[in-house]
Chain A
Amino acid sequence: MDFIFQNILNALQWGSFYALIALGYTLVYGVLRLINFAHGDIFMVGAYISFFLASFLLGPLVGLSPAMVFLITVPLTMLLTSCVGVTLERIAYRPLRRKGAHRLYVVITALMCGLILEYSNLAVLGASRLKFPELIEKQIWDVGGVSITNLKVLVIAAAIVVFLFLQWVVTRTRVGMAMRAISYDKFAIPLMGIPMDNIIVVTFVLGSGFAGLAGLLFAMSYPVLEPFMGMLIGWKAFIAAVVGGIGDIKGAFVGGFLLGFIEVGVVSVFPSSYRDLFAFTILLLILWMKPTGLFGMPQSTKI
């Protein structure tokens, strides 16, 4: 029994990371119908930014206490990471969108931007792995044989709060209404006096900011940083977003946790090298049964 609860807790934590990244994918996709393949690398950049911020603030120049550093690092990381996301949008995606390029060329550009981020990081900082400093003192509570650390609770809570926040933004605010409108009809929106570019920038700010938050939390939970950490987790989060039904906030959240549960469940029973095989087979079967994902709406096309 303890074994099961412990694994459920691990799955919740692991799924939270997927959910946080998948939310960013799905936001950008829902508005622009663009698969932002650089998103996993924005997550990586977020982890590095938080590392440098934390080391700077803990260092001899400033010398704050770890708890204070944590409180300052979270908003700063989110801000700086969203700057990276918006820069990518300004430099690479917007000119292509203006020229009316085919959707897939923008996707390829996004892939290339991801590669640039990864390898320029490798070139500038070198291949040595970095160790993230411990910001929150680790507390382990033992509840009926199940060990719960405060970090795990923090991560899971962060994922749920972010989900509720994004759901509120998209369904209840004026910006969210504009986002939904853009995804509904891109050509009528400028006629209605809605500043399309500003709304898209807001989307990128939200998506990249929460990728930065995910990077910070990931670096705190698994304190080793390397340039390629975002690649695999980014692809998998994208798959999770699609299985949930891409473009739908709830779908990304559920898909992320589903992938987390499948992976941890497989690892706890089989050898860990079977993880990808089982996870992807199950996801393939889900997509086979429901081709538009769990919460996606089938699109009707006019001829």
Chain B
Amino acid sequence: MVLFAVGLLVAAHYRFIDSYIQIVAMTIGINIIMSTSLNLVNGNMGEFTCGHAGFMCVGAYISSILSVACFGSKFGDPLLPASSVLFVFPIILLIGGAVAAVSSLLVSVPSFKTRDDYLAIISIAVNYMILSALENMDFIGGSRGFQGMKDTVWAMVDIFDGPWMLFWVILFTALTVWIIRRFISSTYGKGVNAICQDEVAAEIMSVNTNKIKIINFMIAAGLAGCAGGLYAHIIGYVNPQSFNILKSTEALVMVYLGGMGSLSGAVISAIIFTGLLEVLRSQALIDGLLSPITMMFPDWEPSAGVIKWVMIPLLLVIVMQFRPEGIMGNRELSDVFPWLKKFYRFK
């Protein structure tokens, strides 16, 4: 894995792979962070929350505002010298994640009393509230969006000319997977799984359910916030509506496609899902697939961006019919291929 990551970075540095593939690789990384962190809540703890993009939005906005204030010229002079960007940038991302983690209290505190479907509503409502609150803040652009984060990226490029964003995405993705793996195999993680099995029984067995719920929600939302910060710096522009319920749905789909509670399943499904999104984007492929139908209706011109969103849900529905427990079910990769246990252990 390390070799692969270094190889990707070197290839990107010497322009063996073009910036399109770099963007795809970065999107895959962000989606891995999103799906594994949502898997912590929806898979391991067995709750059903569908407002994960709201926390991503908080992280994206906080880290963009900080990065523009520190290195951009939009709010007056830069607060910090451009040479310190390499140390400050990860701190900015982590602060964004921390604020997102605090905002997750909006969901986790009601979750002491409410269960499944009612909690789903609370999370949807929180997602809408965050977006709506940001749209009404005029000093950060409101619904027109917010930009200027590219200054930070350029400051990094000035220090050393390389694919910096790819580096940060790979670093944070590896960090996320590592944190979640350690968390799930710790005592707290056992408590999370106990809540999934039976909350009342877990409480009787002296698991402090409220504390574990708060910690679990905070870790998930914090990682989503980091993903949001990375996303904002890759695109260089954030808009509240790009974190709407559709984005949350994407994260949900990745979790349930991979299998509830399976970390490697979430990683695999994030890669497959993002890959599908990119492959089906090609107009030539869509035209080829639909050529029998367009032969019959010559004046119908399907566009790939629309057909994509018909075919992906259709594929998922079909996958669900044949494999209703997701790709991996409740198992890890090392359970399916035992020889992998030589390289890493889980649980």
* A-to-B contact residues, CB < 8 Å: 29, 35, 92, 95-96, 99-102, 104-105, 107-109, 111-113, 115-116, 118-120, 122-124, 231, 235, 238-239, 242-243, 246, 273-277, 280-281, 283-284, 287-288, 291-293, 301, 303
Q: Which residues of B contact A96 (CB under 8 A)?
A: 320-321, 324
Q: Which residues of A contact B118 (CB under 8 A)?
A: 242, 246, 287, 291-293
The answer to whether B306 touches A119, judged by C-beta atoms less than 8 angstroms apart, is yes
**A283-B114 Cα distance, complex, nearest whole Å:** 14
Give the number of A-B contacts (CB < 8 Å).
131
The answer to whether A280 touches B310, judged by C-beta atoms less than 8 angstroms apart, is no
| Top 7 closest pairs, chain A to chain B, by CB | A101-B324, A112-B313, A276-B132, A277-B132, A119-B309, A291-B114, A280-B125
Q: Which residues of A contact B306 (CB under 8 A)?
A: 119, 122-123
The answer to whether B252 touches A284, judged by C-beta atoms less than 8 angstroms apart, is no
The answer to whether A105 touches B324, judged by C-beta atoms less than 8 angstroms apart, is yes
Q: What are 10 residue pairs bridging A and B, where the CB atoms are less than 8 Å apart in the complex?
A: A29-B117, A104-B260, A105-B324, A105-B325, A105-B326, A107-B48, A115-B313, A122-B306, A246-B117, A274-B136
Q: Which residues of B contact A242 (CB under 8 A)?
A: 117-118, 121
**A288-B106 Cα distance, complex, nearest whole Å:** 10
Q: Which residues of B contact A109 (CB under 8 A)?
A: 316-317, 320
* B-to-A contact residues, CB < 8 Å: 42, 48, 106, 110, 113-115, 117-118, 120-122, 124-126, 128-129, 131-133, 135-136, 143, 198, 200-201, 204, 245, 249, 252-253, 256, 260, 300, 302-303, 306-307, 309-310, 313-314, 316-317, 320-321, 324-326
Q: Which residues of A contact B136 (CB under 8 A)?
A: 273-274, 277
Q: Which residues of B contact A291 (CB under 8 A)?
A: 110, 113-115, 118
Q: Which of B110, B120, B302, B310 has the most CB of A within 10 A?
A: B310
A115-B313, A277-B132 are known contacts. Are A287 and B114 too (CB-CB below 8 A)?
A: yes
**A275-B135 Cα distance, complex, nearest whole Å:** 11
Q: Which residues of B contact A235 (CB under 8 A)?
A: 124, 245
List the A residue with the shortest CB-CB distance to B133.
Answer: A277
Q: Which residues of A contact B110 (CB under 8 A)?
A: 284, 287-288, 291
The answer to whether B200 touches A120, judged by C-beta atoms less than 8 angstroms apart, is no
Q: Which residues of A contact B200 (CB under 8 A)?
A: 301, 303
**A95-B326 Cα distance, complex, nearest whole Å:** 15
**A293-B321 Cα distance, complex, nearest whole Å:** 33
**A107-B249 Cα distance, complex, nearest whole Å:** 11
The answer to whether A274 touches B132, judged by C-beta atoms less than 8 angstroms apart, is yes
**A280-B115 Cα distance, complex, nearest whole Å:** 18
**A227-B253 Cα distance, complex, nearest whole Å:** 22
**A115-B246 Cα distance, complex, nearest whole Å:** 10
Given contacts A104-B48, A291-B110, 10 further A-B contacts (CB under 8 A): A96-B324, A109-B316, A115-B310, A242-B121, A243-B121, A274-B136, A280-B128, A283-B125, A288-B110, A303-B200
Name B253's contact: one of A112, A239, A246 (CB within 8 Å).
A112
**Least distance between A107 CB and chain B CB atoms (Å):** 7
The answer to whether A120 touches B256, judged by C-beta atoms less than 8 angstroms apart, is no
List the A residue with the shortest CB-CB distance to B46.
Answer: A104
The answer to whether A101 touches B325, judged by C-beta atoms less than 8 angstroms apart, is yes
Q: Which residues of A contact B252 (CB under 8 A)?
A: 108, 111
**A116-B253 Cα distance, complex, nearest whole Å:** 14
List the B residue with the shortest CB-CB distance to A236.
Answer: B128
**Least distance between B309 CB and chain A CB atoms (Å):** 4
**A293-B119 Cα distance, complex, nearest whole Å:** 11
Q: Which residues of B contact A95 (CB under 8 A)?
A: 321
**Least distance between B261 CB and chain A CB atoms (Å):** 11
**A292-B113 Cα distance, complex, nearest whole Å:** 9
Q: Which residues of B contact A276 (CB under 8 A)?
A: 128-129, 131-132
Q: Which residues of A contact B132 (CB under 8 A)?
A: 273-277, 280
**A104-B50 Cα distance, complex, nearest whole Å:** 11
The answer to whether A284 touches B125, judged by C-beta atoms less than 8 angstroms apart, is yes
The answer to whether B201 touches A303, judged by C-beta atoms less than 8 angstroms apart, is yes
A119-B309, A293-B118 are known contacts. Are A111 and B320 too (CB-CB below 8 A)?
A: no
The answer to whether B129 touches A280, judged by C-beta atoms less than 8 angstroms apart, is yes
Q: Which residues of A contact B126 (CB under 8 A)?
A: 280, 284
